[in-house]
């Protein structure tokens, strides 16, 4: 499944959870509800998924992702007043360390859920191309930028 289709379906699931529960609960409540909603939408999703972190090709530890969808997208669930650069940096580090290219920061603190999409290794004008089948520890180092879809040509 294309990562853009996955993130589109995740967005729908986030807004459904937000519509049903509203705001004011702890992160774990939203994490569990979002996991249910993602699975109901036919997405393969796991909670507290252990992901191997590598340094120079060697495993140095594990990180437990809030949610991983279709083994392609990491979701970090937050309930904070505002998503800060430290939250973005945290997700970017997780992406880099695990070899995943796309992550979503989801904040359920306010009446309308906030979703921030983070992508490693793309420039603004490039379309997303999923990585090859390399081992996480063999993948090249990637730089991070926020993804913005290219403007359509008229």
Phi-psi region of 99 (alpha: psi -120 to 50; beta: other; left: phi over 0): left
Q: Where are the domains of the chain?
A: 3-146
Instruction: Give 120-131 pLDDT, tens digit per residue.
Output: 876 444 444 444
How far lies 41's CA from each of 10, 14, 109, 120, in Å?
Answer: 9, 11, 24, 26
pLDDT for position 126? 42
Listing DSSP states for 42-71 in one string gives: T--EEEEEEEEEEETTEEEEEEEEEEEETT
CATH 3.40.50 for domain 3-146: no
pTM value is 0.76
Q: Regarding predicted confidence, which is higher, 151 or 103?
A: 103
Q: What is the DSSP letter of 18?
A: H
């Amino acid at each position: 499944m294309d990562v853009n289709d996955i993130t589109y379906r995740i967005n729908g699931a986030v807004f459904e959870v937000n519509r049903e529960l509203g705001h004011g609960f702890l992160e774990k409540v939203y994490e569990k509800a979002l996991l249910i909603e993602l699975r109901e939408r036919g997405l393969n999703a796991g909670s507290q998924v252990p992901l191997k972190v590598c340094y120079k090709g060697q495993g140095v530890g594990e990180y437990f992702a809030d949610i991983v969808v279709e083994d392609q997208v990491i979701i970090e669930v937050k309930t904070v007043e505002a998503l800060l650069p430290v939250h973005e940096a945290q997700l970017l580090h997780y992406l880099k360390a695990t070899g995943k290219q796309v992550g979503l920061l989801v904040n359920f603190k306010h009446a309308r859920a906030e979703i921030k999409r983070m992508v490693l290794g793309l420039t603004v004008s490039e379309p997303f191309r999923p990585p090859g089948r390399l081992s996480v520890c063999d993948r090249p180092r990637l730089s991070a930028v926020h993804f913005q879809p290219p403007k359509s040509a008229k």
